[in-house]
Chains A and B, each alone.
Chain A
């Protein structure tokens, strides 16, 4: 599949959209949302760490942020990335 999403725009959540990227293109992350300036670095760090854990080297992530903390962010990035890569069962 070409894109996959996880999460919502509700309070304390984020909507992560993962899109397939060509092999070798690397990781490209964009984000927007309330107070995003203060959390930009932190979000990038967590998103990248999560992708690394999953062994994903090439992906485009778009994050719509509404106050999600690290726990939620990690879960959403993982779910979106996993579904993109082929999902379960």
Chain B
């Protein structure tokens, strides 16, 4: 056991993860070695002009998938996805087992996989877990630990060779017979295919699964034929209602709006609120409400932004069309407006996860970000953030882009109600660390705003007022304690059921098994 830079005890070897665990030493401490990993050379002779196969099982056979291998998926179909379940069902029927699945994220619809876990078809999940699968893993129902990586850390792991994908199954809303793929069209359109690019580049075998096979060549190609080995057409790759939402609306919940107002006021009072500002916002909740207030302030002051980043919704599309941004950098399209905009507007650019957030390349998007508003389950006195575990210690959320945007943004704002019900969100020490405090600049709650003392420049620039009440993080911790009263600690065993990697591949924390509910 050794202690890492955020004070967590990490064993030097974790079975099912690594024998030589790299400890987190700081946000800018780990340097890459060696070269990028590469897939085997291959050729497709001019005699073959059709890569389609009749069904998923045929593709699995052709791919050479064996028990024990690693398969990957993207999550652009979100809670409307059918592909992950279909592929695992096929594997199960074919007697393939002990698979490592490597999705960019899982959703409630994937609780279907529970039976495959219990039957041994799935041996390990390297990706986020939630719902019943998360609960199963938390209570010790999986043999090997879940390995969590951020949106930027995942491509880093693939590109550096830490994770070798044997077969990537890419859900493609539109495809042609030679393997050109796009997410912009089709009944299951999802817009950007940002998270699929790394898999297409590096997986040993790439299988595209589509429900909209079109004439060659497909329009608005996002993943080209040079990277795709096989194409399978199925009835439906997903349910549109679960893939994209209608128009994204700003919340009317008063408490969320209050916190959002404070966050927006913080941004407006910072040195970054000027011509050319860039920011990232979430798909809803406090983050989106804060963005709405910032947008109003931009209109009032006549400020035009440079780019909007991240998960793109109609809100950002409207800002682009209004001229409040010059470009949108889209790694994930959340609603219909974003899907429609991406192929129509040259200023709405699709970016891969590598481009978006990989810390091991010549420079990713988050490095250029001025400000981001993020959520948290918990924040502590050192400004460390936990987004992975819930108040009972269950591992129920992935990292998403949290570590990446927090590191890259010049002003990282964490918004959270001080308590959720009776559970404090601002605590002495977070149960598990997702994002280190050294990259977190401010915590905004309904009881006030705490600026990280590391940011003396911000503390000097910002004047407290009724619209921006400043407090210390210690005051927030004490207030939360007082309101919550006495609490018993989370009960857990020593067994590690989850590994939380930092975006540079080091281990920032581990998750331990909790008692069954």
Contact = CB atoms under 8 A, between A and B. Distances in A.
Given A67-B421, A69-B422, A35 B485 contact: no
A18 B162 CA distance: 60
B421 A38 contact: no
A78 B392 CA distance: 29
A66 B421 contact: yes
A32 interface: no
Contacts of A42: 485-487
A11 interface: yes
B490 interface: yes
Contacts of B488: 37-41
A31 to B, nearest CB: 13
Contact of A68 (B422, B489, B491): B422
Contact of B422 (A35, A37, A40, A46): A35
Interface string A46-89: 10000000000000000000111110000000000000000000
Contacts of A35: 391-392, 421-423
Interface residues of B, number: 16
B214 interface: no
Interface in B418-472: 419-423
A37 B491 CA distance: 10
A27 interface: no
Contacts of B484: 69
A12 interface: yes
Nearest to A14: B422
B58 interface: no
B3 interface: no
A38 B487 contact: yes
Interface in B350-388: none
A58 B391 CA distance: 34
Given A66-B421, A69-B422, A38 B485 contact: no
A32 to B, nearest CB: 12
A34 interface: yes
Interface in B384-434: 391-392, 419-423
Contacts of A37: 392, 488, 491
Given A39-B488, A40-B488, A42-B486, A67 B392 contact: no
B187 to A, nearest CB: 39
A54 B261 CA distance: 44
Contacts of B234: none
B478 to A, nearest CB: 15
B5 interface: no
A24 B244 CA distance: 62
B483 interface: yes
Interface string B477-513: 0000001111111110000000000000000000000
B458 to A, nearest CB: 33
A23 B515 CA distance: 38
A79 to B, nearest CB: 19
Contacts of B487: 38-39, 42
B490 A34 contact: no
A29 B420 CA distance: 25
Contacts of A34: 421
A9 to B, nearest CB: 12
B457 to A, nearest CB: 38
Contacts of A68: 422
A39 B391 CA distance: 12
Nearest to B491: A37
A42 B487 CA distance: 7
Nearest to A73: B485
Contact of A67 (B423, B486, B491): B423
A69 B392 contact: no
B391 A11 contact: no
A45 B485 CA distance: 11
B392 A41 contact: no
Contacts of B419: 67
A34 B392 CA distance: 10
B248 to A, nearest CB: 25
Contacts of A70: 485
A34 B420 CA distance: 11
Q: A38, A45, A67: which has the most chain B beta carbons within 10 Å? A: A38
Given A35-B422, A39-B422, A69 B391 contact: no
A41 B488 CA distance: 8
B483 A38 contact: no
Contacts of B485: 39, 42, 46, 69-70
A66 B421 CA distance: 7
A11 B417 CA distance: 14
Interface of B: 391-392, 419-423, 483-491
In the A-B complex, the 5 residue pairs with the closest CB atoms: A67-B421, A42-B486, A67-B422, A38-B487, A38-B488
Given A35-B423, A39-B486, A67-B420, 20 more contacts: A12-B421, A35-B392, A35-B421, A35-B422, A37-B392, A38-B391, A38-B392, A38-B487, A38-B489, A39-B422, A39-B487, A41-B488, A42-B487, A45-B486, A66-B421, A67-B419, A67-B421, A67-B422, A67-B423, A69-B485
Interface of A: 11-12, 34-35, 37-42, 45-46, 66-70
20 contacts: A11-B421, A12-B422, A35-B392, A35-B421, A35-B422, A37-B488, A37-B491, A38-B392, A38-B488, A38-B490, A39-B422, A39-B485, A39-B486, A39-B488, A42-B486, A67-B421, A67-B423, A68-B422, A69-B422, A69-B483
